[in-house]
Amino acid sequence: MHPPPIFEEVQACSERFMPGTPPGLRLTPDDDVADERAIEAATTGLFEPPVCRRYRWESAYDTAAYLDVLRTCSGHRALDPERRRRLLQCVANLIDGRYGGRVGRAYLTLPMVARRR
């Protein structure tokens, strides 16, 4: 699954209003994301080989709901209120102006089960 194009455009807002945002940051393709917990469980010797699954999914959001999701991100929560307001306004303008007030967001869920030895 390729990330919706809005991700890169939101990154421009982040670079503008969030100090320390790496320029040009892009999502890692789903197939390149390693499940670090599974790797760790397999190397400790404490567990049988883990069973891992990968679930790709996308959820659609209107502008207000998308901003609510962004408000849960620790980096956004740590911003001073004025920077956060300006960042969220930048994103809202983008969603309303380029996407008609509705966008999708891609997710990758990596559940794992392992038995103790």
Assigned domain for 68 exists: yes
Measured distance CA(79)–CA(18) in Å, rounded: 7
State the residue range of the domain holding 66. 6-113
Mean pLDDT by 10 residues, the chain (117 residues): 70 91 80 76 82 91 96 92 96 96 91 88
Whether the model clears a pTM of 0.85, i.e. scores above it, the answer is: no
**Domain total of the chain:** 1
Assigned domain for 1 exists: no
Q: Given this model, what pLDDT does residue 4 score?
A: 59
Quote the DSSP letter at residue 43: H
Q: Given this model, what pLDDT does residue 1 score?
A: 45
Give the H/E segment covering residue 39: helix 36-44
